[in-house]
Structure 1
Amino acid sequence: MTTAGRVAPGEAERVSRPRTALVLRHDSTIGLGNLAPTLEAHGYEIVTVDAPSTDVSGLDALAPDLVVVLGGEEGAYETDLYPYLADEIELLRTRIDAEAPIFGVCLGAQLLAKTLGARAYKGERKEVGWLTVEPTEAGADSPVRHFAGVPTVQWHGDTFDLPAGVERLAGSAQYENQAFARGDWLLAVQFHPEVDDAIHEDWLAAWGDELPEYGLTAEQLRAQRAEYGPPMQAASARLLGEYLEGLARRSESAA
């Protein structure tokens, strides 16, 4: 609050210092997509780190206001093959211990589940296409509710058990654990709210040869993107925006 044109003690630093979002990326084709504009609209400066080529262990886990962990082809259980995943888990553990905000997508959700003590593992069959997720009772009172009845992109073969001490927010016909939260500071989704047109085309180019196995074609997915893409991107902006607004309220109440 300001009075008579003056800034209250401590507020000047909060006003002048931009919030930072550290993004852990595992593949150049799996970026922030349409999450980036929402982060920027909420005043976040985005710092993207390519985990496979960066010393993640050298990062200050608590310096960013928010950590976003994106997807990848790696399995959260493959830390021997991909040692940087073990470093990410340590970074996430430090933030979890401090209840510092984290948003995880796909592999990010699996890494969070593993960090919280649950099992991440290969599922029976990949979940691919524009599919719906169903919010749970808790999910209906969370940012995930914006995806009720809104098809979104799924493209994953791994899954996870629900960690202790979290709320399950959504499931799908094939995988019951599609989203979970701890408090108002940790949110994880298995589905892909970040997918924009460019990411969608990149994925078709990179992994489109898998589609016949799931009774799909690139042309079908492009047609679905044309129909479902706009409402999905709107739901994505509402989901992330509501989560970020909750973080802002949390920060204000702690000040």
Structure 2
Amino acid sequence: MSGATPRAILFQHDEPVSAGALAGALTRAGFALETRFREVRPADAEADLVVVLGGFMGVYEADQHPYLREELALLERRLHQRRPSLGVCLGAQMLAAVSGARVFRDPKGMVVGAQAIHVAPAGRQHAVFAGGPASLLVTQWHGDTFDTVRGAETLASSERQPQEVFSLSNSVGFLFHPEVEPPTLESWARAFPQALERAGRRLDDVLARDLPSLREARADSEGLLHRVAGYFAREVTAR
């Protein structure tokens, strides 16, 4: 890289699902952020970093959402070129899909709220988790899952998903939402009661138990975002 400020393109699919706290972490790591809402521009494939955020649609619904096909093609191209990408929730499922894994609606239903993830042996050696805690309490909000991603390194697992976090070359997928802070989870829980119902959760339970627990885990969450942003900044510099 030259001395130019590295660009990070953030693909957003629904208004409530933004980059959240991740935006600040990437900015502090030196990235200039550009957000795309349901569109891909020709030069985006050459960006220093691509971040694909979550959304209310599924990877298997790309026929109804043509921009997903464009993003999938972009991710596949970047993987082949070893250009770093970060996938969050839907974005992680898209990374899994372009690597040949089946993405499907989780027969166990939605996962909503605070849940522990456990760092795998390989994760303890990876920059996104190295030096951090062996287990973290994170925010979950998804109804889809995927089969094992072949060729990926498992960095962390959860009770429901053995590849909760995985790496493919210098790209990383997070099925959970590292960018979501407690106020955002509260706003989602109040705005989307049908998701809580699918998850077998009650609003009062999420507010009374999950939010305080996630507030207590804030330092761990901030540390994770700091390491994630730093990892990608170093990968970009190395290119």
- TM-score, normalised via structure 1 length: 0.84
* Alpha-carbon distance between aligned partners in 2 of 1:217 and 1:147, rounded to the nearest angstrom: 29
Q: Where in structure 2 are the equivalents of 1:216-255 lying within 5 Å?
A: 216-254=201-239
Q: Match for residue 207 of structure 1?
A: 192
Alignment RMSD: 2.1
* Alpha-carbon distance between aligned partners in 2 of 1:239 and 1:232, rounded to the nearest angstrom: 11
Q: Match for residue 5 of structure 1?
A: none
Q: Percent identity?
A: 33
- The unaligned stretches of length 5 or more in structure 2 are none
Letter in 1 for 2:87: G
Q: Which has the higher contact order (CA 8 A, sep 6+)?
A: 2
Contact 2:29–2:233 under 8 Å retained in 1: no
Q: What is the SS of the residue equivalent to 1:133? A: strand
Would you say how many aligned residue pairs link Structure 1 and Structure 2? 236
Pick the aligned partner of 1:135 from 99, 113, 119.
119
Structure 1 residue 109, shift from structure 2 partner: 0.3
Q: Match for residue 33 of structure 1?
A: 20
- The unaligned stretches of length 5 or more in structure 1 are 1-10
1:106 lines up with 2:113 in the alignment: no
Closer/same/farther in 2, CA of residues 219 and 177 from structure 1, 3 Å limit: same
Which deviates the most, 116-125 or 186-195? 116-125
* Alpha-carbon distance between aligned partners in 2 of 1:147 and 1:80, rounded to the nearest angstrom: 41
Structure 1 residue 232, shift from structure 2 partner: 4.0
Structure 1 residue 251, shift from structure 2 partner: 4.0
Could you give the per-residue CA deviations for residues 87-108 of structure 1, whole angstroms, max 9, x where no partner exists? 1101111111111111111000
Q: Match for residue 70 of structure 1?
A: 53
1:18 lines up with 2:5 in the alignment: yes
* Alpha-carbon distance between aligned partners in 1 of 2:122 and 2:233, rounded to the nearest angstrom: 21
1:95 lines up with 2:82 in the alignment: no
Structure 1 residue 129, shift from structure 2 partner: 1.8
Q: What is the SS of the residue equivalent to 1:239? A: helix
Could you give the per-residue CA deviations for residues 231-255 of structure 1, whole angstroms, max 9, x where no partner exists? 544333322322332333344444x
Q: Match for residue 115 of structure 1?
A: 98
